Amino acid sequence: MPTVPLPDDPNPEQLRKQARDLQRAVRGGAPDAIALAAELHPAGAPAEPAAWPLSAAQLVLARMYRFPSWPALVRHLGVLAAHRRAPDEAAPSADPATEFLRRACLTYGAADGALQRTAAAVLDEHPGIARGDVWVAAARADAAEVARLLARDPALATREGGPHRWTPITYLAYARHDPDVPGDAVVGTARLLLDHGADPDTGYLWHGLPCPFTLLTGAFGGGEGGQPPHPHQHALARTLLEAGADPNDAQALYNRMFSPADDHLELLFAFGLGSGDGGPWRRRLGAALDAPADLLRRQLSWAVTHGFVGRVALLAEHGVDLTAPLPGGYGQAPATPYETALSSGRSAVAAELERRGAAVPVPPPQRVLAAVLAADRSAVGRLGREAVAAARAARPGFVVWAAVAGGPEAVRLAVELGWEVSARARTDVPSDEGWETALHHAAHTGDAALARLLLDLGADPEARDHRFDATPLDWARHAGRPELVELLRAGRPAP
């Protein structure tokens, strides 16, 4: 079934237009549209295309987006709209309290870091905002002021306000303007708000994406931009969990999976991570949000492919199956953790899996990949040309991952074995999805030795990646790598 995820920030009117366009295409006899209808409509191909109704087109579109019906899709869009927030798009405000809050909290936008460092200046210039505003008081972890305001109006604990239309406890969880805020003030403020009805599972959908940014997400921080955790992340998270926050927090797990630290997992496991039904957000979002067991398998997949041995062990100790195939994705087929570890060049993870009895037979093409990443020429020779050819066919962009996880000798061996030196693939996961070349990776990381080798091997310095349409030289400039800029300007190894 050719299903696809909803687009980012899905627009209901846009989807209605898609349904009307599909109806017109079927009525007009467009082969692709009729094939889609035949695949996804319960009745199969339309018997009378010219009279195909809009309701049929809506059903096909809903099923294409992985919903059982058009009403189910519409309900889902309603949930997204109700909880959508875009904190990174909040405009500067002339109101000092609003502007302080805009600057004080993580937005998961490009301005994070620099933005939060400017919040104190607003407070210094307008000290009066420290009193009378529950959202400012919560962001500042001013428990005494929060208590004073709640005594006058307890409903403030759950009232949305400020630039992001957040509740007070959300501003507390996402505040990053004061690294020296006292821990007892943070916990005391959180408990006051929770005692007055604040929901420990409070969250929002960033730009309508179906993965909630909860209070736990805010406490733990992290993410693709490396946002910092709350200064008292563990005390705040524990307070929320003790108040009933569901530990199966998909966004918190995603944001923190990029580094090997497991402190967040240890705390979440202590409160039931991996069990239960997924909590209120999964009840709202349904299958758009992974079930608890699936969350852990995704954690295992990332840990295996990125060499996080400690995380693999921690997940195993909490009952995660080390032998079942990991979820596919990124254009890759499912494979067992052991096979994935070897073919990703993660020998330490493979050894841990062997120690835990999770070793399984690995097909020759995957063993070739493992041998290349280890720069083991003799092992490649023993496996033979047929296995090498099968490995090249299965992983045409493998030279990119060789640059990421294997190093110069792995790259040299891969090119000698026939892999294209300027092939495109992903650098964050072992996938042949055509993102960038190995030379882009070297430029971004500042690895001059690798870049020289790639150029020696014939890498194209003018190749453009398929995400930003930029050359390796552009990447080196963006990353601030002057040595790589000079090297790539010449388009050949430096003398």
Per-residue pLDDT of the chain (495 residues; tens, 9 = 90+): 457 889 888 889 999 999 999 999 999 999 999 999 999 999 999 999 999 999 999 999 999 999 999 999 999 999 999 999 999 999 999 999 999 999 999 999 999 999 999 999 999 999 999 999 999 999 999 999 999 999 999 999 999 999 999 999 999 999 999 999 999 999 999 999 999 999 999 999 999 999 999 999 999 999 999 999 999 999 999 999 999 999 999 999 999 999 999 999 999 999 999 999 999 999 999 989 999 999 999 999 999 999 999 999 999 999 999 999 998 666 677 899 999 999 999 999 999 999 999 999 999 999 999 999 999 999 999 999 999 999 999 999 999 999 999 999 999 999 999 999 999 999 999 999 999 999 999 999 999 999 999 999 999 999 999 999 999 999 999 999 999 999 999 865 444
- Please give the pLDDT value at position 5: 87
Q: Do domains 297-355 and 400-490 have the same CATH topology?
A: yes
Residue 425 DSSP SS3: strand
C-alpha–C-alpha distance, residues 325 and 276, integer Å: 22
Q: Where is 338: in which H helix or E strand? A: helix 337-343
- Please give the pLDDT value at position 249: 98
* The token pair that represents 263 in the structure block: 């402190």
317-325 contacts at long range (C-beta below 8 A, 24 or more positions apart): 318/269, 318/273, 318/274, 319/274, 320/274, 320/296, 321/297, 322/353, 322/356, 322/358, 323/358, 323/360, 324/297
C-alpha–C-alpha distance, residues 174 and 166, integer Å: 10
- Going by C-alpha positions, the residue among 275, 358, 362, 351 that lies closest to residue 322 is 358
- Please state the pTM of the whole predicted model: 0.91
From 3.30.360.10, 1.10.246.90, 1.25.40.20, 3.60.15.10, which CATH number describes the 400-490 domain?
A: 1.25.40.20
Residue that has been written with the tokens 């020759």 in this structure? 364
- Please give the pLDDT value at position 334: 82
Q: Structural domain boundaries of the chain?
A: 12-85, 87-237, 297-355, 400-490
Q: How far is CA 121 from CA 43, 96, 133, 141, in A?
A: 64, 10, 18, 17
C-alpha–C-alpha distance, residues 299 and 316, integer Å: 11
What is the secondary structure of 343-384 as a DSSP string? HTT-HHHHHHHHHTT------HHHHHHHHHHTT-HHHHHHH-
User: CB under 8 Å to 486, separation ≥6 — which residues?
Assistant: 494
Question: Would you say 290 and 281 are in contact if contact means Cβ atoms under 8 Å apart?
Answer: no
Q: Where is 251: in which H helix or E strand? A: helix 250-256
User: CB under 8 Å to 327, separation ≥6 — which residues?
Assistant: 294, 297, 298, 301, 334
Strand order in the sheet with 84-85: 84-85, 203-206, 213-214
Taking residue 287's Cβ as centre, other Cβ atoms within 10 Å add up to 12
- With 0-12 / 13-18 / 19 or more C-beta atoms within 10 angstroms meaning exposed / middle / buried, residue 167 is buried
Residue 454 DSSP SS3: helix
Instruction: Please state which CATH number belongs to domain 297-355.
Output: 1.25.40.20
- Please give the pLDDT value at position 490: 86
- Going by C-alpha positions, the residue among 259, 257, 246, 340 that lies closest to residue 285 is 246
Q: How far is CA 213 from CA 145, 178, 203, 220, in A?
A: 26, 21, 5, 11
- With 0-12 / 13-18 / 19 or more C-beta atoms within 10 angstroms meaning exposed / middle / buried, residue 24 is middle
- Please give the pLDDT value at position 325: 93
C-alpha–C-alpha distance, residues 455 and 487, integer Å: 10
- Please give the pLDDT value at position 287: 87
User: CB under 8 Å to 123, separation ≥6 — which residues?
Assistant: 100, 129, 130, 140
